[in-house]
């Protein structure tokens, strides 16, 4: 058992939905709550310093040049909305997205299309050369391509760097929903030539719901018309009597109101763990667990729906001895947390999960005779 993840009675194969907090994140939240309850905001100055430290950790994780390139948002949907409703869309513009995207990365563009008279083109993604399929749908009127770096149902991982380079050559904006990538694999927004990147903290980043990261390429910040306003976004945010209402020159302009201090304390702890472990090491460990699951499932005759040559942390498969919904219910009842996605069962193990736990889950897939543990309900978003 990993010291940061003292799970009891569960096997957590659901990081693509809502992941558990590490021990240090739990401790950070408890300590913050205790401090707030006993001393109020006496230490607010240290809270602000932690906010900046967390911004720096997020910049390192996402590959931003500076911590000022990172804004904290409530979730991925909020960040996507800032882009969709902040850009100036030329007449006749179209947007290209993959078909079957998670609803957050679909509804926002459809609503923007309705408001601004845009066209949204949804593209089927083949497992071989999905980037070419997206590029083939682009023409001279394509303003933006938006896609998940890793598809939530199939687990298909796009070559974001190749796609970003091709779009940059054609002067098409590139928006990346990185929620199924960040925390599972190394990420470099600059190398990928991404214009916008967003991700919630509650999946592979090992953080809480209600806080997320938003990166905007610095040259594009001024192109996003602001839709929300408040004291925290101002350049002189601490001077409440100031008559100058100029907004912050950096990404803080996208943070209108008071920061989520509780969420920041938790996120700081979670990001510190990932960066201490190192994303290369984390990715290698996830890959080993993915390969272990895939090999065993293939021995059982289970069709694997995730392309191994394009995998990240998600593995979706179909059982052979029972309906996948029946297996899902049996796994959940046994404390194996997973999801029904893409016409099968989705496993999404993080780096810390012991191989013994994987084998216990696989034994349940093999047959219903294994003794079940008490059920532990789990939120099931994405």
Q: What is the pLDDT of residues 249-261, one digit of tens each?
A: 999 999 999 999 9
Per-residue pLDDT tens digits for 129-157: 999 999 999 999 999 999 999 999 999 99
Q: What is the pLDDT of residues 149-199, one digit of tens each?
A: 999 999 999 999 999 999 999 999 999 999 999 999 999 999 999 999 999
Tell me what the pLDDT averaged over the chain comes to: 94
Residue 220 pLDDT > 80:
yes
Domain boundaries, the chain: 11-21+278-366, 24-276
CATH architecture of the domain covering 11-21+278-366: Alpha-Beta Complex (3.90)
CATH 3.40.640.10 fits 24-276, yes or no: yes
Distance in angstroms (rounded) separating the CA atoms of residues 255 and 246: 14
| pLDDT at site 351 | 98
Per-residue confidence (pLDDT) for residue 80, from 0 to 100: 98
- Which long-range contacts link 83-86 to residues 24+ away (Cβ below 8 Å)? 83/144, 83/146, 83/175, 83/196, 83/224, 84/108, 84/109, 84/111, 84/112, 85/112, 85/115, 85/225, 85/227, 86/223, 86/224, 86/225, 86/226, 86/227
Band of pLDDT at residue 238, cut at 50, 70 and 90: confident
């Amino acid at each position: 058992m990993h010291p940061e993840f003292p799970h009891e009675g569960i096997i957590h194969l659901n990081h693509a939905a809502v992941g558990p907090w590490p021990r240090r994140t739990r401790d950070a939240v408890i300590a913050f709550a205790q401090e707030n309850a006993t001393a109020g905001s006496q230490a607010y100055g240290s809270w602000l310093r932690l906010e900046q430290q967390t911004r720096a950790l997020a910049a390192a994780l996402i590959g931003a040049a500076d911590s000022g390139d990172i804004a904290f948002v409530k979730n991925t949907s909020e960040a996507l909305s800032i882009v969709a409703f902040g850009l100036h869309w030329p007449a006749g513009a179209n947007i290209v997205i993959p078909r079957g995207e998670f609803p957050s990365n679909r509804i926002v563009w459809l609503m923007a299309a309705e408001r601004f008279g845009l066209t949204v083109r949804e593209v089927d993604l083949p497992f071989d050369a999905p980037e070419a399929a997206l590029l083939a749908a682009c023409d001279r009127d394509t303003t933006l391509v938006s896609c998940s770096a890793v598809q939530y149902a199939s687990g298909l991982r796009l070559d974001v760097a190749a796609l970003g380079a091709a779009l940059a050559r054609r002067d098409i904006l590139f928006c990346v929903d990185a929620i199924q990538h960040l925390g599972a694999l190394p990420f470099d927004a600059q190398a990928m030539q991404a214009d916008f990147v967003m991700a919630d903290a509650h999946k592979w980043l090992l953080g809480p719901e209600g806080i997320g990261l938003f990166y905007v390429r610095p040259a594009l910040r001024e192109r996003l018309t602001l839709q929300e306003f408040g004291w925290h976004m101002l350049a002189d945010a601490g001077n409440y009597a100031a008559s100058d209402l100029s907004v912050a020159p950096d990404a803080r302009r996208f943070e209108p109101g008071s920061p989520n201090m509780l969420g920041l304390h938790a996120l700081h702890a979670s990001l510190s763990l990932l960066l201490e472990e190192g994303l290369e090491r984390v990715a290698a460990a996830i890959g080993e667990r993915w390969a272990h699951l895939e090999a065993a499932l293939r021995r059982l005759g289970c069709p694997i729906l995730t392309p191994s040559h394009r995998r990240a942390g998600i593995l979706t498969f179909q059982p052979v001895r029972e309906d996948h919904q029946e297996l899902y219910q049996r796994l959940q009842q046994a404390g194996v947390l997973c999801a029904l996605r893409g016409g099968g069962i989705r496993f999404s193990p993080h780096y810390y999960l012991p191989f013994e736990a994987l084998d216990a889950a696989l034994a349940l897939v093999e047959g219903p005779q294994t003794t079940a543990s008490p059920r532990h309900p789990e939120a099931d978003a994405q």
